Amino acid sequence: MKYFSTADNQLLIGGQTAERLAARIGQTPFYAYDRSIMTQKVQELRNLFPEQLHLHYAMKANPMPAVVHHMAGLTEGIDVASMAEMQVALDTGISPDTISFAGPGKTDKELTAAIAAGIMINMESEGEMERIAVLAKTLQLTPIVSIRVNPDFELKSSGMKMGGGPKAFGVDAERVPAMLARCAELELDFRGFHIFSGSQNLKAESLIEAHTKTFELAYRLAQAAPAPLQWLNIGGGLGIPYFPGEQYLPLDEVAANLQVLMQEAATRLPGAEIVMELGRFFVGESGVYICRITDIKESRGETFAVTDGGLHHHLSASGNFGQIIRKNYPVCVANRMTSDMPEKVNIVGPLCTPLDIISDKTPLPPVSIGDYIAVFQSGAYGFTASPRDFLSHPEPKQILL
Ligand SMILES: *Cc1c(COP(=O)(O)O)cnc(C)c1O
């Protein structure tokens, strides 16, 4: 794996072996995140992308407070999707107006908290805008708002499409001009647009097309805005490779297109801050999930290594979160990285369901009870994206190194 090293045939995470980390944490399973990899990922983008482009961390990818704190120091802002996430972002001490809050179905309690905190609300519907205006009047505050736009195009080849066609997210682009007129009447502090079209994309040409269309849409909608745009969030969607055959996204191609788009935006949207929001790209590769083999059995010619971790801790690796055809995340035996005689093994969890697979038919060094299994690419959509109460086994721990 690109960002990890080994010593004495053992995987090192933040310079330490799985065995030593397990001793320090007091148990397996656990998630370990290496902050230096997060820093490296942000730096990779800064080196290639236009310097005027601001980067935000979309914290639902990994909301561990220590991770959010680290990311707050590396980026220009944090994007939150709930009131609890908002509190974690505010606790980092960053300026509230660099925090933005998106997500359909925000409650009055959440909107009130966001207005009182002075963070930007990305409005997901006309109804939400009306509620914000009423709540703000009661508080005698002027809310900072943007409109989340459901674009009239989609991000092709995306792991998760979140724009284009009928969607629960944002306001259809064609309804935005009328919403802007109403927004001016309500005297909200309107800043701009949030246009997020999808996630987990590894194709430069798809992202280039989506970015180009995003700016075009923003120019069109800006004509109906009550004041010049101060802010444009162009979404993110940069993916990371998970499965055999997947390649790293050619960032330089995406960067070259953004360079042209940003130059044009400097004249067509003068003074507007352009933001890209990313979760998985920044933190996904920084994390490993570690569990331990508790039993090994044979069944009709196949070997099964049963571990103390699985689907309930790491739904994504089990293939049950956003995958249509189950594929294996990259795994290794952390205490025996290589062997001359690999054997095919099925790594499974302890749950009484055939869905509880960590890695199937995977060539690995011969395994023993007590070995540590590491699942890579586990820094995003792991711990908090998993049904940890399912079957009532103990919780995994998390550590930031
Ligand atoms: C989930 C989400 C993101 C982050 O997506 P990643 O694939 O983790 O980069 C960004 N913006 C919005 C609006 C989201 O809902």
How far is 37 from 335, CA to CA, in rounded Å?
Answer: 21
Contact 336, 9 (CB under 8 A): yes
Strands 30-33 and 397-400 come out as parallel
Q: What's the 82 CA to ligand 1 centre distance in angstroms?
A: 13
Per-residue pLDDT of the chain (401 residues; tens, 9 = 90+): 899 999 999 999 999 999 999 999 999 999 999 999 999 999 999 999 999 999 999 999 999 999 999 999 999 999 999 999 999 999 999 999 999 999 999 999 999 999 999 999 999 999 999 999 999 999 999 999 999 999 988 778 776 766 778 889 999 999 999 999 999 999 999 999 999 988 999 999 999 999 999 999 999 999 999 899 999 999 989 999 999 999 999 999 999 999 999 999 999 999 999 999 999 999 999 999 999 999 999 999 999 999 999 999 999 999 999 888 999 999 999 999 999 999 999 999 999 999 999 999 999 999 999 999 999 999 999 999 999 999 999 999 999 99
**pLDDT at residue 42 in the model:** 98
Q: Is 281 in the pocket of ligand 1 (CB under 6 A)?
A: yes
Q: Whose structure tokens read 């960590």?
A: 358
Q: Is 124 in the pocket of ligand 1 (CB under 6 A)?
A: no
Q: Is 71 in the pocket of ligand 1 (CB under 6 A)?
A: no
CA angle, corner 321, sides to 318 and 327, nearest 5? 45
Q: What's the 280 CA to ligand 1 centre distance in angstroms?
A: 8
What does the block give as tokens for 207? 């992202």
Q: Is 169 in the pocket of ligand 1 (CB under 6 A)?
A: no
Q: What's the 85 CA to ligand 1 centre distance in angstroms?
A: 14
Q: Is 277 in the pocket of ligand 1 (CB under 6 A)?
A: yes
Taking the CA of residue 238 as reference, the ligand 1 atom at the shortest distance is: 9
Q: What's the 80 CA to ligand 1 centre distance in angstroms?
A: 10
Identify the bridge partners of residue 13 per DSSP, sorted by sequence position. 16
- Cα 71 to Cα 55, 56, 77, 297, distances in angstroms: 10, 9, 9, 43
Taking the CA of residue 61 as reference, the ligand 1 atom at the shortest distance is: 8
Taking the CA of residue 282 as reference, the ligand 1 atom at the shortest distance is: 9
Q: What's the 54 CA to ligand 1 centre distance in angstroms?
A: 15
Name the closest-CA residue to atom 14, ligand 1. 58
Taking the CA of residue 102 as reference, the ligand 1 atom at the shortest distance is: 13
Give domain 5-32+286-400's CATH number out of 1.20.140.10, 2.40.37.10, 3.20.20.220, 1.10.3720.10.
Answer: 2.40.37.10
- Of 232, 235, 237, 238, the C-alpha closest to 264 is 232
In testing the pocket of ligand 1, which one of 122, 169, 199 has its CB within 8 Å of the most ligand atoms? 199
Given 183, 291, 332, 352, the catalytic residue: 352
**pLDDT at residue 177 in the model:** 97
Q: What's the 57 CA to ligand 1 centre distance in angstroms?
A: 9
**pLDDT at residue 154 in the model:** 79
Q: Is 61 in the pocket of ligand 1 (CB under 6 A)?
A: yes
Q: Is 293 in the pocket of ligand 1 (CB under 6 A)?
A: no
CB-based burial label for 352 (10 Å; 0-12, 13-18, 19+): exposed
**pLDDT at residue 140 in the model:** 97
**pLDDT at residue 347 in the model:** 98
352 is catalytic: yes
**pLDDT at residue 291 in the model:** 98
Q: Provide CATH 2.40.37.10 ranges for the chain.
A: 5-32+286-400
Name the closest-CA residue to atom 2, ligand 1. 58
**pLDDT at residue 162 in the model:** 66
Look up the pTM and report it. 0.96
Q: Provide CATH 3.20.20.10 ranges for the chain.
A: 63-278
How far is 94 from 39, CA to CA, in rounded Å?
Answer: 18
> Considering the domain 63-278, what is its CATH architecture?
Alpha-Beta Barrel (3.20)
Contact 71, 78 (CB under 8 A): yes
**pLDDT at residue 250 in the model:** 97
Q: Is 158 in the pocket of ligand 1 (CB under 6 A)?
A: no
How far is 157 from 314, CA to CA, in rounded Å?
Answer: 24
Taking the CA of residue 239 as reference, the ligand 1 atom at the shortest distance is: 7
Taking the CA of residue 160 as reference, the ligand 1 atom at the shortest distance is: 7
